[in-house]
Amino acid sequence: MSNASEIHQYHTQLISTLQAAFPSVQTLAAYRINETLATPAILIEVEGMTVGKLNSMGKTPLNLSMALHCVLGHGTPNLELEVRNFASQVMNLLTNQYFNLPDLLEAPQNISAQPGEFKPGKSGFDSFVVTFEQVIYVGEGAFDLTGVPAVEIHFNQNEVVVT
């Protein structure tokens, strides 16, 4: 699979920028359900994409709806306060952030945060979710699936089986 697409570049630069700004983060990865993770953590989720208003640049603007889940574990002193502080620092970083891709991106818009998932108790955690929208300009390059394994997936109402 090609690693040169604008989406790949965005993801790589987003992670690089977050790692540099938050070196104590133990997990910085795509948001996945039912996985164990080390905290502090930032989980990256693309909530949606829409095509924006076309312009004369020759590239298609995609409006990305992003979510960064800021997660702290139960051992964090003042957990409820610190998870909000964590989210506020992520929000501050996002202000006018182009992730070293100024020719591909517009500045993030509609940056906000709200409480995320939590689990009380000794093995618990708390999270705040920072959401924002960002426009990325993508070209018409070929979509290359070389290296992506072919698998069979069976959908039914209660489960998905991959073979």
Alpha helices in the chain (DSSP H): 6-21, 79-94
Instruction: Phi first, then psi: give them for residue 134, nearest 5 degrees.
Output: -145, 135
Domain ranges of the chain: 6-162
Task: Look up the pTM and report it.
Answer: 0.85
Give the integer Cα–Cα distance in Å for 33 and 29.
12
Which amino acid appears at position 130 of this protein? V
Q: How confident is the model at residue 1 (pLDDT cuts 50, 70, 90)?
A: very low
Strand partners, 69: 43, 129
Give the integer Cα–Cα distance in Å for 55 and 162.
41
Each residue of 34-81: pLDDT tens digit?
Answer: 778 899 999 999 999 999 887 767 788 999 999 999 999 999 999 999
Give the single-character DSSP code of 33.
Answer: T
Each residue of 108-143: pLDDT tens digit?
Answer: 999 999 999 988 887 889 999 999 999 999 887 656
Q: Which CATH class is domain 6-162?
A: alpha beta
What tokens appear for 105 in the block? 């991106």
Of the candidates 97, 83, 8, 80, the residue with the CA atom closest to the CA atom of residue 41? 83
Instruction: Phi first, then psi: give them for residue 130, nearest 5 degrees.
Output: -95, 120
Q: How confident is the model at residue 99 (pLDDT cuts 50, 70, 90)?
A: very high
